Structure 1
Amino acid sequence: MSKNFNLSDVKGVGPVTEKKLNELGIKSIKDLVHFLPCRYIDLDAPTSLSKVEDGDYVLLKLFISSISKPYKIRGSLLVRAHGKTDEGKSVKLIWFNASYVYKTIDKNAYIRVFGKISMDNGYQLVNPKFEKFQENNTKFHGISAIYPLKKRIPQQTYASIVNDAISKTEIKGFIPSEVEEKFNLMKYENAVKLVHKPKNIEDGENASIRIELDEIVKKACAHKVLKTNKNRQKIYNATLDELNSLISLLPFKLNDSQEKAVKKIVKSLKSENQLNALLAGDVGSGKTVVSLIIAYFAVLSGYQVAFIAPTEVLSMQHYNNFISLLSNLNVNISLLTSNIKTSEKKQILKKLKEGETDIIVGTHSLLSKTVQFKNLSLVIIDEQHRFGVSQRNMLISKTENTDILMLSATPIPRSLRFIMLGEVDYIQIDNRFLKNRIKTRLVPTEKYDDMLKYIVKECTSGAQAFFIAPKIYDCEGIETANVDRLYKNLSKKIGKEVNIGYLHGKLTFQQKQKILDDFSNNEISILISTTVVEVGIDVPNANLMVIFDADRFGLATLHQLRGRIGRDGKEAYCFLFPQKDENERLEMFCKMASGMEIAEYDFSIRGPGAWYGQEQSGYLSSAFSLPIRYIENIKEIVENIDIQSMRYELLAYALSYGLDKVSIT
C-alpha cells in the first residue's frame, strides 16, 4: 500500500472541497481519517421530536398534508411541504432548487425524511433527504455518523470521502500491539474503521474512546520523557507507627480505604519524589481525617503545614477539629481568617515566621504576602475545585519543594487530565454510607406549598432543614431568591410553628458561631443560608434541604450543599426549586449520587481544561471524552510501554503540544 497519498488523491476531493477541508483543520489523509464523528443517529429507529434539540439530525416518518408547486423567491426555486408525525407534531419541509421533489412526493401519503432539524419557528427541515414510505423497504438504515463539519461539506459527502481515505492510508496507533493484547484493548486499526462505520451506536462510542485513549497515553508517555522528577529536598523521618498516638484518639475506626490512603501518602512523602496528590472521596467520606493524620506526620518530621479552606465556616470547623485532636499531642495550631483582629493577626504571623506554629489553618488570607513560614513542607488544599490555578500556585510558591495534597469530592476536569498524564497521584476513599441514601427531587412551582408543609411537619417532630439561597439581600434589577426575603417571608408564614435562623458571610465571627451552635443543638429547626454552609457544617440530625434558584448553582456546589444532609447515614431529601421548572442539567443531577459521577458529567460538558496556563475547562479535538474510570488504566498502560526506545519522537511530540509548559495545579 502506498503511503504517499495526498488529500487530492482521495475520491471526491477536488480543489474546492480540499479548501473546505483545510478550513476544518484537515490537511492530510491522516487528519481526514482522525476527524471523528461528534455523535451518531440510528436510522433504524424513527426520532421522537419530543426528545430532540435544535440542530439535531433526525429521521422522521411524515404524513404529507400539502405540497407546493415550485416557485421562485430571490432567485431560488422553492418547494414547500407540510407533514405530521405519528405523534401529531407538524413539520415544515423546504427544498431549494429541487423541482423534482414536487413530482416525487404525493399529497396524503407517507414519506421518510432525514436531515437537520430547526426549531426557531416550529419544527422545520431544509433540504432533507427523503423517500416514499414502504414498510420494511428503505434506504435509511444502520448507523449514520454525524461530523462537526460546520456546514462546509454535506454529511454524506464527507462519509464517502473518509471511506475512500481509509482504504488509501496505513492506520497505526501509538500503543504497541502486545500492550493492546495485555489490557484487552480494541485494536487501533479496527477502532478507526469502526468509529466511521459502526454496527451500532455503542460500538461507535467505544471505538472513539479507544482512539481517545491512544491520544492520552501518548501524551502521558511524552510528558514522562519530558519531565525530570523533582527530587525530594525535605526528608520525612517520622514512621507510620508514630501516627498511632493520634489514630487512637479518633472517635471512630478508620475504614480500609482511609488506612490505605494514609499508607500511600506516607510512602510518597518518604520517596525520592515530591508529593502531588488528589485525595478524592464523596462528601462525608472522611477525607479531612486522612489529611489531619498526614499533617501530623509532617509535624512529627519537624515541618510546618498550611491547610487552606475556601470559607471561614469551614476553616473554623477544621481548626476546632485539629485543636480537639492534636492539642494534647503538643502540636501548635493557629487559625488565620479575614475576621481575626489586627493585633492577634500580628502575633499569629510572628509565631508562624519563627516556627512556633506547626499547623496554620485558614482561608484565602493564607495567600497574603505577609504570611511567611520558617519550614513549610506540606500544603493541603481543601475543596480544590473552589480555588483558581493562580490562587493554588500562590500558596505553593511560599516555599520551594512543597508537597501538595488536594482534597475534593468533585475534582475539576483539569485535575482529572493531569491524573491521566501521571503528574498527579489519584487516591480514592470509599463512601461511609450508601450513596443513594439522599433522594434529590425537582420541585415545580405549583408544588412549593406542599413541600413546605411536609418540611414543617417533619421539623415539628424533631427534624432539621437547610434552606439555601444564592444571595443575601435583594439586588436591584436581579430577580433571585435571597436570605433576607426568605427569612422575613417564612417567619410570617411558619415562624409560629418552627424556629427559624439565618446565616451568611456578612455576619461577624461570633454571630456565625452562635447560630451554628444553636443549629447543632437543635434550637433552630430551619437554617436559611447562603452557600457558606456548602462545606464544613456537620449536623447529623439535619436530613432536609431546599435549594432555591438551584439552576444558578454549579453541579459541584449543588453536590457539596447536598452533602450537608444525610450525614448520619439515614434517608434524607434534597429539594431543588429552580427559577425554570424544566432544566435538563438539574434532572441529570437528581439521578447522580456520587461526586465522581458529577465530575465525569462535568468533564464531558466542560472538557478537560488547557494543558498549560490557567483555564480549568476546554476541549481537545477528540469526539468523545475519555471516561474517568480509565484513569488508573492509563498509568498501568504507560508503565508497560518502552518509552526510551521512542524518546526523541516523544520529545518532539511533547514540545509540539506544549507539554513542557504544563501547570500541574
Structure 2
Amino acid sequence: MSGRPERLWPLFAEIQSLDGIGPKTAQALAQTGIEAIRDLLFTLPYSGIDRRPRDTIRGADLPATLTVPVVVGQHRPPRKRGGAYRIEVDDAAMRFQIVYFHARPEYLMRLLPPGSRRLVSGRVELFDNVPQMTHPDHVLDSADAGSMPEFEPVYPLTAGVTQKIMTKAVAHALAKAPDLAEWIDPALVAKEGWPGWRDALSAAHAPDHTGNLAPTDVNRARLAYDELLAHQLTLALARRARRTRPGKITQGDGRLRTIVRGALEFSPTGAQLRALDEITADMACPERMNRLLQGDVGSGKTLVALLALLNAVEAGGQGVMMAPTEILARQHYDGLAPMAQTAGVALELLTGRDKGAERVRKLAALTAGEIDILVGTHAVFQDDVVFADLRLAIVDEQHRFGVRQRMELGRKGEGADVLVMTATPIPRSLALAQYGDMDVSVLDEKPPGRQPVQTALISEERMTEVVDHLRRAILEGRQAYWVCPLVEESETSDLAAAEARYAHLRAALGEDAVGLVHGQMPPADKDAAMARFNAGKTALLVATTVIEVGVNVPNASIMVIERAEAFGLAQLHQLRGRVGRGTAASTCVLLYRPPLGEAGMRRLTTLRETEDGFRIAEVDLEMRGAGDVIGVAQSGVPRFRIADLERQAGLMATAQSDARRLLEFDPELKTERGRAARTLLWLMRQDEAIRLISVG
C-alpha cells in the first residue's frame, strides 16, 4: 500500500492543468482550499438560476432573473461619456430596454444588431417604471439558444474567479474523473437508490431545479456519505489499532469502592451506575478501553471517575487523572482527597509547578508504585514521568483532544485503558464525528440534591438593582460570581473590562467582599484568589471565563453574566453550571445590552427555558453550525466539503456502523469492496488511515 493508486492521479493533478485557469486564478482558488482537481470536484454549486425561457417579462414579479426571446430595435448611445447605452427590444407582449455601461458601440452593434432575433437572459428591474435588463448574463442568437442550461449552477466564488471560469473548469475536471469501483455496502446503495460515484458527481454539478441543491438530494447525499464513510473508516482503523495493542485485564474486588460508597451521603444515580458498569466491563477485557464519558453540568462524572480509578487500584495497578489547567487539576485533587483518604488510597498531585527535589520525590514514589492515583495537568505527559503499573488514564474536559493525542496517551501506559470525560454535551452527530473511534457512556440524570437554577434576563440599564440584590444576598452570607464579557479578542481589553468592573463592585460592596481572577494572573495568585473565595473569605468573585469549566464552590448560589449576548450557548450553560451545587436556591442573571438581535434573543431565551445541556447543544448546533460549536481548529473534527453534520446526523451514524462492520469482515481491506474502500481513503486524503492499514 505504498502510494496513491494510478487511477486517482488525474484527480490530484494541479488545478492549473484545467482550461482557463492560469497562475493568478489558481492562487485565488488556493485561498479557498482548492488546490487539486479533486478539490474542485468536491466544491458543489450552492444555488442556481432558473434560465427557462418565457415569452414575455410582462406579469413577472420584478426584480427577477428572466430569459426571453426578443427582436432588437433602436440603439441609443449615451449623450455624455460613461452614461448608459440603451437598446430597445420587444418580447412577445411588451417593449423594454437593455442597458450597458462603458461598452464599445461597435461591439454592441455586432452583439445586438437592429432587427435581429436574440435570446437574452439577465436581471430585470424597474427604473422610473421602465423595465430594464442591465448587462445581460447571456445574449445568444436563435441557433445557439440550446447551449444555455435551463438551470444554471452558481458556485461559491472568491475574488478574481468568475462563475464562467468555475463552470468551464468544472466541466473539464469532470471529464478527468475516472469510474471507480463501489465502496459503499451494496444493500445500502439499493435501499437509498444512490447512483455510482462518478454519476453522482456529474449530476451534483448539473442541478435541474432548487431541490437538487438540498443535502437530501440523492446525488448529494451519496457524495456526503462518501466523506463520512472515509472519516469513520479512519476512526475505526484508529480504534482497531489501539485494540490490537494488548491491554491489561483489570478486575478489582470491590473492597475500596464499597468503603467509598458507604461513606457517601446519597446513592449514585442509575446513569452513574450504568456508566460505571460499562467502564469496569471494558477494563476487565484484554483489549484496551477507549471510552468517552459524556455528562451534562453537575451529572456527577467525578464520582464515576473515582470509582473507576479505585477499580484499577484494587487490581494492584495505578490510575491517573489529567485536567487541562492547574486550577482544575488542583480542584480534582481537593475533591478526590477526602474520599481517597477514607479508602486509604495514596493520592498525589503533579503539575508544572512541581520543581526540584519535590518533583524528584513524587516521580520516585510513582515509579516505585507508592502513589496509587496521580492527578495532574499535561505535565503528566513528560518523558520522566514513569508509572509502576498504569491501568487507567482519565482525561478531563478535553474538547481540544483529538484522535492523535488519544493515541499519544495510549503509548504512555503500555496497555492502559483510556477514559475521556467531557461536560460539554455534544449532539450525537458531532460526538460521532469527533469521538467515532470511542465507545460512549452518557450521564443523563442529575444526582439528588442538585438545585434547579432560576435564570433571569435583565437589561444592563437595571445594573444598580442587580448590585443592590447582591448586597442583600451577601449580608445573608451567600456567595456569587460576576463574569465579565469578552470585550474583544484581545486579552488586554478583557482584562481592562474585568478590572473596571472589579473596581466598581468593590466601591459598591466593600473592598474585602470582592475578589478578582483572570487569565493573565500568575497561577499562584489565581489559586490564592480561588482559595479565598472557596473558604468564604470573599463573597463575590469577579472573573473572566477562566471559571467556565469545573470550578466547584457549593456555597456560591448567584451567577451574574455581563453582556451575556456576547457568549455562545454552550459557554453560558457551562457558566450557569457553576451555581446550584449546594443546598441554597440558585439564580443566574443574564445581563444583556439592548437592543438584542434575533440570534442573541434566541440564545438567551433557550437558556432561560431549559437546563437540559443536550437540548441546548442541539439549538447551538442549529444556530452556529458544526465548525463553531467545537471550534474546529483545536478539535478532532474534520471540515467536510459536502457533508452537513447538522442535517445529516443519520448518515454519520450509518457510516460508523458500516465502517466497523466492513473492518470486522475484512480487516485488511483485501476483498473487492475492501480495495474500493482503500481507494476512497486515498481519494479523501485520509493518509493517516492508510498508514494504519499497512501497520495493522
Q: Which structure's CA Rg is the greater one?
A: 2
Question: Could you tell me which residue of structure 1 aligns to residue 214 of structure 2?
Answer: 204
**TM-score of the pair, normalised by structure 1:** 0.68
**Cα 1:209/1:15, change in 2 over 3 Å:** closer
Residue from 620, 629, 648 that aligns with 2:640: 620
Identity %: 25
C-alpha separation between the residues in 2 aligned to 1:112 and 1:263? 73
Q: Which amino acid aligns with 2:194?
A: K
1:495 maps to 2:510: yes
Q: Which amino acid aligns with 1:636?
A: S
Q: Which amino acid aligns with 1:36?
A: L
**Secondary structure at the residue paired with 2:503?**
helix
Question: Could you tell me which residue of structure 2 aligns to residue 48 of structure 1?
Answer: none
**Secondary structure at the residue paired with 2:216?**
helix
Quote the offset at 1:356 in angstroms: 0.6
Quote the offset at 1:331 in angstroms: 1.6
**Secondary structure at the residue paired with 1:278?**
strand
1:61–1:111 contact (8 Å) kept in structure 2: no
C-alpha separation between the residues in 2 aligned to 1:247 and 1:144? 67
C-alpha separation between the residues in 1 aligned to 2:353 and 2:21? 65
Quote the offset at 1:169 in angstroms: 9.7
**Cα 1:268/1:21, change in 2 over 3 Å:** same
Question: Could you tell me which residue of structure 2 aligns to residue 175 of structure 1?
Answer: 184
Question: Could you tell me which residue of structure 2 aligns to residue 636 of structure 1?
Answer: 657
Question: Could you tell me which residue of structure 2 aligns to residue 139 of structure 1?
Answer: none
Quote the offset at 1:502 in angstroms: 3.5
Quote the offset at 1:357 in angstroms: 0.6
Q: How does 1:57-96 map to 2 (within 5 A)?
A: 61=63
Question: Could you tell me which residue of structure 2 aligns to residue 314 of structure 1?
Answer: 328
1:378–1:403 contact (8 Å) kept in structure 2: yes
CA deviations on 1:624-657 (whole Å, 9 max, x unpaired) are: 3465566544332334545553233333443552
Quote the offset at 1:204 in angstroms: 0.3
C-alpha separation between the residues in 2 aligned to 1:230 and 1:258? 29
1:657 maps to 2:686: yes
C-alpha separation between the residues in 2 aligned to 1:422 and 1:476? 35
Question: Could you tell me which residue of structure 2 aligns to residue 120 of structure 1?
Answer: none
Quote the offset at 1:481 in angstroms: 3.9
CA deviations on 1:140-182 (whole Å, 9 max, x unpaired) are: xx9986422436342898499879979x99898642341356x
**Secondary structure at the residue paired with 1:298?**
helix
C-alpha separation between the residues in 2 aligned to 1:549 and 1:331? 45
Question: Could you tell me which residue of structure 2 aligns to residue 512 of structure 1?
Answer: 530
After TM superposition, the structure 1 stretch with the greater mean CA deviation from structure 2, 298-307 or 170-179, is 170-179
**Cα 1:110/1:446, change in 2 over 3 Å:** farther
Structure 1, unaligned stretches of length 5 or more? 8-13, 44-58, 63-67, 81-92, 114-125, 131-141
**Secondary structure at the residue paired with 2:304?**
helix
C-alpha separation between the residues in 1 aligned to 2:660 and 2:335? 40
Quote the offset at 1:219 in angstroms: 3.9
1:424 maps to 2:438: yes
C-alpha separation between the residues in 1 aligned to 2:405 and 2:123? 67
C-alpha separation between the residues in 1 aligned to 2:157 and 2:550? 47
Question: Could you tell me which residue of structure 1 aligns to residue 377 of structure 2?
Answer: 363
Question: Could you tell me which residue of structure 2 aligns to residue 108 of structure 1?
Answer: 128
Quote the offset at 1:298 in angstroms: 1.2
C-alpha separation between the residues in 1 aligned to 2:628 and 2:416? 33
CA deviations on 1:182-212 (whole Å, 9 max, x unpaired) are: xx75635698657964866797033445532
1:70–1:79 contact (8 Å) kept in structure 2: yes
Question: Could you tell me which residue of structure 2 aligns to residue 216 of structure 1?
Answer: 228
C-alpha separation between the residues in 2 aligned to 1:459 and 1:633? 54
2:45–2:213 contact (8 Å) kept in structure 1: no
**Cα 1:638/1:524, change in 2 over 3 Å:** same
Q: Which amino acid aligns with 1:221?
A: L
Quote the offset at 1:333 in angstroms: 0.8
Question: Could you tell me which residue of structure 2 aligns to residue 50 of structure 1?
Answer: none
C-alpha separation between the residues in 1 aligned to 2:356 and 2:280? 37
C-alpha separation between the residues in 1 aligned to 2:100 and 2:651? 45
Q: Which amino acid aligns with 1:603?
A: A
CA deviations on 1:469-504 (whole Å, 9 max, x unpaired) are: 479xxx9974754544332221212439x9433445
Structure 2, unaligned stretches of length 5 or more? 1-6, 12-17, 52-60, 65-75, 87-98, 113-119, 139-149
C-alpha separation between the residues in 2 aligned to 1:567 and 1:70? 76
Question: Could you tell me which residue of structure 2 aligns to residue 603 of structure 1?
Answer: 626
Q: Which amino acid aligns with 1:206?
A: T
**Cα 1:225/1:305, change in 2 over 3 Å:** closer
1:467 maps to 2:474: no
**Cα 1:354/1:261, change in 2 over 3 Å:** same
C-alpha separation between the residues in 2 aligned to 1:455 and 1:527? 12
CA deviations on 1:3-29 (whole Å, 9 max, x unpaired) are: 9xx99xxxxxx943899799685987x
Residue from 249, 270, 279 that aligns with 2:293: 279
1:179–1:637 contact (8 Å) kept in structure 2: no
**Cα 1:108/1:464, change in 2 over 3 Å:** farther
Q: How does 1:144-155 map to 2 (within 5 A)?
A: 146-150=154-158, 152-154=161-163
**Cα 1:261/1:39, change in 2 over 3 Å:** farther
Question: Could you tell me which residue of structure 2 aligns to residue 594 of structure 1?
Answer: 613
Q: Which amino acid aligns with 1:187?
A: W
1:420–1:631 contact (8 Å) kept in structure 2: no
Question: Could you tell me which residue of structure 1 aligns to residue 306 of structure 2?
Answer: 292
C-alpha separation between the residues in 2 aligned to 1:567 and 1:553? 22
**Secondary structure at the residue paired with 1:404?**
strand
1:409 maps to 2:423: yes
Q: How does 1:469-618 map to 2 (within 5 A)?
A: 469=484, 478=493, 480-495=495-510, 499-503=513-517, 505-507=523-525, 509=527, 512-518=530-536, 524-540=538-554, 542-548=556-562, 557-567=571-581, 572-575=587-590, 589-590=603-604, 591=606, 594=613, 596-597=617-618, 598=620, 601=624, 603-605=626-628
Question: Could you tell me which residue of structure 1 aligns to residue 56 of structure 2?
Answer: none
2:234–2:689 contact (8 Å) kept in structure 1: no
**Cα 1:453/1:344, change in 2 over 3 Å:** same
Quote the offset at 1:430 in angstroms: 1.2
1:243–1:297 contact (8 Å) kept in structure 2: yes
C-alpha separation between the residues in 1 aligned to 2:383 and 2:426? 27
**Secondary structure at the residue paired with 1:205?**
coil
2:494–2:544 contact (8 Å) kept in structure 1: no
1:604–1:625 contact (8 Å) kept in structure 2: no
Quote the offset at 1:349 in angstroms: 2.6
RMSD after superposition: 5.5
Question: Could you tell me which residue of structure 1 aligns to residue 397 of structure 2?
Answer: 383
C-alpha separation between the residues in 2 aligned to 1:295 and 1:516? 26
Question: Could you tell me which residue of structure 2 aligns to residue 88 of structure 1?
Answer: none
CA deviations on 1:496-543 (whole Å, 9 max, x unpaired) are: 9x943344544275663232120xxxx654222344432333345544
Quote the offset at 1:290 in angstroms: 1.6
C-alpha separation between the residues in 2 aligned to 1:487 and 1:581? 25
Residue from 653, 670, 675 that aligns with 1:648: 675
**Secondary structure at the residue paired with 2:331?**
helix
C-alpha separation between the residues in 1 aligned to 2:451 and 2:154? 37
C-alpha separation between the residues in 2 aligned to 1:195 and 1:411? 37
Question: Could you tell me which residue of structure 1 aligns to residue 341 of structure 2?
Answer: 327
Quote the offset at 1:465 in angstroms: 2.5
Q: Which amino acid aligns with 1:605?
A: D
Residue from 400, 403, 425 that aligns with 2:414: 400
C-alpha separation between the residues in 1 aligned to 2:463 and 2:375? 40
**Secondary structure at the residue paired with 1:307?**
strand
After TM superposition, the structure 1 stretch with the greater mean CA deviation from structure 2, 299-308 or 256-265, is 256-265
Quote the offset at 1:314 in angstroms: 2.4
C-alpha separation between the residues in 1 aligned to 2:62 and 2:555? 53
1:232–1:271 contact (8 Å) kept in structure 2: no
Residue from 347, 352, 355 that aligns with 2:366: 352
1:16 maps to 2:39: no
**Secondary structure at the residue paired with 1:490?**
helix
CA deviations on 1:372-398 (whole Å, 9 max, x unpaired) are: 321122221111125688987776544
C-alpha separation between the residues in 2 aligned to 1:287 and 1:110? 69
